[in-house]
């Protein structure tokens, strides 16, 4: 039995290339028969579009369009067009984060005001803005999943500003869950273990984070992006119908360990 019902429509935010966690989620949704609307962050030379189109070969979307989630009008227009193309909007996947390099590579107390605001806007407000739009089209209820990391809960050296953003993101998930529940819409986060992607390559000491994860995690296998995508699909699906406002760790158990 398919965990997701056939003929559902999903918006997936955060495909940058074939290694993006959003791409692994989109592929699995596609294999379950879900129609997809994908947005991406455009650049002036059109390079990002080419990388996104290559990634999308594995999950041909019904609708593909640039959308800067920090621009209110673009967000509104994207969701409106996505809804028209999909016919129904049942799932939203938010796999988006950004912080300026200089503000992620410095100590937290050295973060600039501008960098802080930009990181919070891209990594947290983008969820709020997209949930507001998505929920207005989820007339039959729906399910939303965002992606977080353990650095929201405990200090992970190097994760710094992004840890502050992820704490705010997880808190937003809880507050949004309370407001969305009466509308029949669930929202949860998957706290993924460290995986090599474009976003994670910006994090200082990322290779030590990966090494620690592989050494300390109770499950000694290597964490795969597909593992994270499976958790996202579970939370989206009706099998998780009694779960909302939750953070589901998908990290081979790394988060339960004390450093050793
Ligand atoms: N890779 C990891 O180790 C890891 C672990 C835990 C959580 N996460 C989270 O997973 C999510 C996806 O990251 P990823 O690792 O797949 O990297 P990624 O770089 O492939 O994805 C990040 C996406 O955010 C998009 N984005 C940033 N600012 C945007 C904006 N203003 N408007 C629209 N899109 C914007 C980028 O274009 C990109 O597609 C992020 O929230 C990240 O923090 C990643």
Q: Mapping DSSP to helix (H, G, I), strand (E, B) and coil, where does residue 52 land?
A: helix
Q: What is the pLDDT of residues 66-76, one digit of tens each?
A: 999 999 999 99
In tens, the pLDDT along 145-164 reads 999 999 999 999 999 999 99
CB atoms within 10 A of CB 6: 9
- Of all atoms in ligand 1, which is nearest to the CA of residue 21? 16
Q: Is pLDDT at 223 greater than 60 in this prediction? A: yes
Active site residue 234: no
Give the pLDDT band of residue 1 (cuts 50, 70, 90): very low
- What is the spatial distance between Cα 38 and Cα 59, in angstroms, rounded to a whole number? 10
- Confidence class of residue 260 from pLDDT cuts 50, 70 and 90? low
Mean pLDDT of the chain: 95
Across 86-101, average pLDDT: 97
CA dihedral 163, 18, 225, 145 (to 10 degrees): 60
**Distance from chain centroid for Cα 19:** 13
* Active site annotation includes 137: no
Mind listing the domains of the chain with CATH numbers? 9-250 (3.40.50.720)
Distance CA 204, CA 144 (A): 30
DSSP state of 23: H
Could you tell me which of 5, 29, 9 has the C-alpha nearest to residue 139? 9
DSSP string, 41-110: ---TTSHHHHHHHHHHTTS--SEEEE--TT-HHHHHHHHHHHHHHHS---EEEE------HHHHSS-GGG
CA 198 to ligand 1 center in whole angstroms: 8
**Does ligand 1 come within 6 angstroms of the Cβ of 97?**
yes
């Amino acid at each position: 039995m398919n965990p997701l019902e056939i003929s559902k429509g999903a918006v997936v935010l955060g495909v940058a290339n074939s290694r993006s966690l959003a791409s692994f989620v989109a592929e699995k949704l596609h294999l379950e028969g879900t129609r997809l609307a994908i947005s991406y962050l455009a650049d002036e030379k059109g390079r990002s579009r080419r990388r996104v189109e290559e990634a999308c070969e594995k999950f041909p979307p019904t609708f593909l369009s640039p959308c800067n989630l920090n621009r209110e009008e673009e967000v509104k227009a994207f969701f409106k067009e996505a809804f028209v193309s999909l016919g129904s909007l049942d799932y939203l996947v938010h796999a988006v984060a950004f912080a300026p390099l200089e503000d992620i590579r410095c100590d937290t107390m050295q973060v600039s005001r501008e960098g802080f605001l930009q990181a919070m806007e891209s990594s947290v407000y983008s969820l709020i803005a997209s949930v507001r739009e998505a929920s207005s089209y989820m007339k039959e209820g729906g399910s939303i999943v965002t992606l977080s990391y353990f650095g929201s809960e405990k200090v992970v050296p190097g994760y710094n500003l992004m840890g502050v953003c992820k704490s705010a993101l997880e808190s937003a998930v809880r507050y949004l869950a309370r407001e969305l529940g009466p509308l029949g819409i669930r929202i949860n986060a998957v706290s993924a273990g460290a995986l090599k992607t474009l976003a994670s390559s910006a994090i200082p000491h990322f290779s030590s984070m990966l090494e620690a994860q592989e050494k300390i995690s109770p499950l000694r296998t290597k964490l795969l992006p597909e593992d994270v995508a499976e958790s996202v699909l579970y939370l989206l699906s009706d099998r998780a119908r009694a779960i909302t406002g939750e953070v589901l760790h998908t990290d081979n158990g790394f988060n339960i360990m004390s450093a050793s």
